A and B are shown apart, each in its own frame.
Chain A
Amino acid sequence: GAGVSQSPSNKVTEKGKDVELRCDPISGHTALYWYRQSLGQGLEFLIYFQGNSAPDKSGLPSDRFSAERTGGSVSTLTIQRTQQEDSAVYLCASSTHGSSNQPQHFGDGTRLSIL
């Protein structure tokens, strides 16, 4: 079946612009996670959704970052007034339900470059 789909795969934009990243999880997966991965680094947790609600937003780096999920499916991560330090790969993952004792299925990520 279809895996986790992320778009765009690559995004280059100028500093100060807003960007929107999209994640389409595996059908039926109720939990959705966003991570950020800088070059050669680990997975930095950003936010987690259970259905449409976000029980844990503790990883969002600043108020320029926001995310939403509608219909218990597609999620968008929005970064406003982008800065060069926002450049990274943004990974989305989904799992069957909201407890963290299930495997996470990752998308291919969006590579974001801020000029």
Chain B
Amino acid sequence: GENVEQHPSTLSVQEGDSAVIKCTYSDSASNYFPWYKQELGKRPQLIIDIRSNVGEKKDQRIAVTLNKTAKHFSLHITETQPEDSAVYFCAEGTNAGKSTFGDGTTLTVKP
């Protein structure tokens, strides 16, 4: 079946630095790549997503890049703040069926 690998599993950065999380996928039919943020004890929430017809999307301090040839996509957070500390999940979707999620990255931003 579909597989999504997410790296790193944990990431610690100083406030103000950038953070990058990378996911690779295996299904050539994947055309939708969302990122979810889950704060401790809270529900996962969509923070940004990208479709296969674009290579990059930005929303203020966060951006996602997609390389369809290499089958990987990345989340970039610039000027990190303590409130960015959370678990981040990538996922992939197709025109049918269920999404496959990565195992998550625990991001810690140190003040």
Q: Say whether A and B bind each other.
A: yes
Give A contacts to B, CB under 8 Å: 33, 41-43, 45, 48, 55-56, 91, 98-109
Q: Which DSSP category, helix, strand, loop or mixed, fits chain A's interface?
A: loop
Which B residues, 59 to 111, have Cβ-Cβ distances below 8 Å to chain A?
A: 89, 93-104
Give A33's nearest chain B residue, CB to CB.
B98
Give B contacts to A, CB under 8 Å: 31-32, 34, 36, 42-46, 49, 51, 89, 93-104
Report which residue of B42, B94, B99 has the largest number of chain A beta carbons within 10 angstroms of its beta carbon. Answer: B99
Contact present for B43 and A104 (CB under 8 Å): no
Q: What total count of A-B pairs have CB within 8 Å?
A: 61
Contacts of B42 in A (CB 8 A): 108
Contacts of A100 in B (CB 8 A): 32, 93-99
Known: A42-B103, A103-B34. A108 touches B43 (CB 8 A): yes
- Report Cα–Cα, A104/B46, bound state, in Å: 8
Closest 8 CB pairs of A and B: A100-B93, A101-B32, A106-B43, A101-B93, A42-B103, A100-B99, A48-B98, A103-B46
